[in-house]
Amino acid sequence: MTGMDAEFLTDGTVWLSPPTVSDIDDITTLCQEPSIGAWTTMPVPYQRADAEKFIYDLVGPGWATRSPTWALRRSEGGPVVGMTGLGPLYHRRDDDTAEIGFWLSSAARGAGLMTRAVRLVGTVGLDPKVLGFQRLEWRAFVGNHGSAAVARRAGFHYEGLLRGGGVQRGTRRDIWVASRLHTDPDVQGENWPEGV
């Protein structure tokens, strides 16, 4: 990571920066991919108005409230290929824990880009001099093996299954949960069972 400016992160292979108005069309196109909608809680079908609401209502205010969002790019200033961010835990009040979320375009998968991005976000998220969280929590609907692989490689430790632990567009679904603590090293996570 170059420097400690949390808004702009890179490891020389991926570049993370806050998504802007100029990214709205790319976000709209990418979020229409069925494989993204299948595992997220974003609207389906995804419209340009949804991307506008995301940029104006979530991204800007989020940075002001320790809920940052980064666009993942393959080069500095390049087009968006994915998104990651940290947000509050809605199921309980805990100012020292953030939930990490992410999605990646199907065309960009398989190259380790999201694992790199999640490691960068984990570093600034858990750094007491930057965002200062004590715990980052990952959650995914059961069956999202791609997301689980990223979390495992990025140092998250599997904690279990929450029956009916999440709601996706009105349907309650089981979810997997894992975490990374500020004391955990940035190495592959442990305790991941077969099939997750």
Helices assigned H by DSSP within 13-110: 24-30, 34-37, 48-53, 60-64
Domains of the chain: 9-181 (3.40.630.30)
Q: Are 14 and 74 in contact (CB under 8 A)?
A: yes
- pLDDT score at 91: 60
Q: Which phi and psi (to 5°) does residue 116 adopt? A: -60, -45
Neighbouring residues of 140: CB distance < 8 A, sequence distance ≥ 6:
39, 147, 148, 151, 175, 176
Q: Are 79 and 105 in contact (CB under 8 A)?
A: no
Taking 90 as the threshold, does the pLDDT of residue 74 lie above it? Answer: yes
Mean pLDDT in residue range 52-76: 95
pTM exceeds cut of 0.95? no
Taking 50 as the threshold, does the pLDDT of residue 46 lie above it? Answer: yes
Express each pLDDT in 183-195 by its tens digit.
Answer: 998 788 888 998 8
Taking 80 as the threshold, does the pLDDT of residue 120 lie above it? Answer: yes
C-alpha dihedral sign at 190, 2, 89, 140: negative
Taking the C-alpha atoms of residue 144 and residue 139, their distance in angstroms, rounded to an integer, is 10
Nearest 5°: CA angle at 166, between 164 and 171? 80
Strand ranges (E), the chain = 9-10, 15-17, 69-73, 80-87, 97-104, 135-141, 157-168, 171-181
